Structure 1
């Protein structure tokens, strides 16, 4: 743990990480090269959650630009790694780039289906590609790492929020797409501290800039995700009557609002992802069981109700 990182934690918190009562999900990050057969779906099946169709649209919308951010993150961590000397952190940087490379590969495949279903997705996809490709080339090291850390604030929070609402949002859904998103959320939590720690290692004295980048990332995520969401909801017919229009609108702002609310602790100068309230309460049972199940050779490429029951009851 770097000097800057230690400064953000109390002595008791620091000690608890050295002798934790449980294996913290951010320890021993593993790269899992999984390929999900999402291309077998028809475009008409992309609203993949029967439990909450609005949630499926929300994640689909969020996922349009995510693969290009993940490539930006890879560039950010690869560039910053030359300036980091802490071997544990360097290993985590290698792990996060490995995880994100596999995320991007799977989501780019799925986004082709979204483009077949929604006329504007190709335009939004290309806009995201150009934005992140250009900024990956021109951003300073501080901006690369700062924006990555800011953005990862919300993918980390989304991972915990989504897994906590599994039964409410994902229980009855397409097995392959559900499996894809469970994998993604588990790993977003696992590497949720890496970019933060890199920023603290390299630019820890510039705390104001870290907070500014959180707001910058939030604005960017909101702009991209909301544009895609309302387009998709309109195509799916949600705005043909006032009741469904209100339902769709309420869902997206309420869900996005959860991320904003849970981001408030990140603005503390003593913040560290490991001590976020969502990360230090009882660990999510699905995430814990999923890791254990896969480690023992279980198949997590499709997850239906029966498979999730098996995963949770495994071991």
Structure 2
């Protein structure tokens, strides 16, 4: 199975358009209640991706609340009005992300016995750290973690046809929305860190590693539990396929993380953030700006969305 990034249609864009330009808050609410436990593995294109991203999402809402605390605390120390506006936008976006994923996690818990325990572990961890971390740690960890949510956004959208094309329209729409917005605000926490602690590059890079280790720990705990419930470890072939998927996808993430360790790095200049590689992200933003309904995305809807590229 190849996990290379798949080519997407090249959008027609203006010379100054960028996927991180403009960060609107979109108060969307996705109807996950209709999903039955049997539909939790929601992508027929790649069941392993369903499990992978479901597992990743278990602890994400609590990080998003941590981010809100981080940006709210840091904002009083930021004087740049453009960055302050972006900080307000990212907290608004993440608040709506957290609300939707907490609802989805309740559905996951109906199928996976350990999800409630993992959810509670994440809640306790991030609630405690939000109260006890100093400003440097709050901003540094947030910047490190956002490195990977931004990269995940780009990688998942680039692999849309392989991972999401044939899947439940509501959950697909939920993840497309989330990934587009993670790309939109992918530079904000980085810029806040640079504004406050820009001379301490070593700490920014250290926090990338700390965030990576935390993500991997939480992801693998949920992923292998879910694979076990789905019966993947009763078949050597399925077990190998599931293990290969998580290893290859994590490897992609680490590979694309390497540019972030450069002193000259900025998320807007990451190779994956060039507009030529973001047809879905750009088209989705244009589509919703024109009033398009993005709460469910089937094949026909995605074709209409892409027509806006």
Pick one of 59, 72, 75 that aligns with 2:69. 75
Pick one of 126, 131, 156 that aligns with 2:150. 156
Pick one of 158, 163, 177 that aligns with 2:171. 177
Tell me how large the CA RMSD over aligned residues is. 0.9
Match of 2:199 in 1: 205
1:136 aligned onto 2:125 = no
3-state secondary structure, aligned to 1:289: helix
Q: How does 1:1-315 map to 2 (within 5 A)?
A: 21-280=15-274, 282-314=276-308
Match of 1:7 in 2: none
Q: CA deviation at 1:281?
A: 5.4
Give the conservation status (yes or no) of the 8 Å contact 2:43–2:49.
Answer: yes
Q: Once the two structures are superposed, what CA deviation does each residue of 1:71-120 show, in whole Å capped at 9, x if it has no partner?
A: 00000000000000000000000000000000000000000010110000
Greater helix percent: which structure?
1
CA distance in 1 between counterparts of 2:121 and 2:115 reads 10
Structure 2: gaps of 5 or more residues: 1-13
Q: CA deviation at 1:161?
A: 0.2
Q: Once the two structures are superposed, what CA deviation does each residue of 1:252-303 show, in whole Å capped at 9, x if it has no partner?
A: 0100110110000000011000111111251411111111111111100000
CA distance in 1 between counterparts of 2:285 and 2:77 reads 32
CA distance in 1 between counterparts of 2:96 and 2:136 reads 25
3-state secondary structure, aligned to 1:41: coil
TM-score by length of 1: 0.93
Q: CA deviation at 1:23?
A: 1.1
CA distance in 1 between counterparts of 2:67 and 2:241 reads 34
CA distance in 2 between counterparts of 1:122 and 1:136 reads 21
CA distance in 2 between counterparts of 1:285 and 1:167 reads 12
| Alignment size in residue pairs | 296
Distance of aligned partners of 1:271 and 1:314 in 2 relative to their CA distance in 1, 3 Å threshold? closer
Greater relative contact order (Cα < 8 A, sep 6+): 2
Q: Once the two structures are superposed, what CA deviation does each residue of 1:121-175 show, in whole Å capped at 9, x if it has no partner?
A: 0000000000000000000000000000000000000000000000000000000
Match of 2:5 in 1: none
3-state secondary structure, aligned to 2:33: helix
CA distance in 2 between counterparts of 1:302 and 1:238 reads 29
CA distance in 2 between counterparts of 1:280 and 1:166 reads 17
Q: CA deviation at 1:28?
A: 1.5
3-state secondary structure, aligned to 1:282: helix
3-state secondary structure, aligned to 2:59: helix
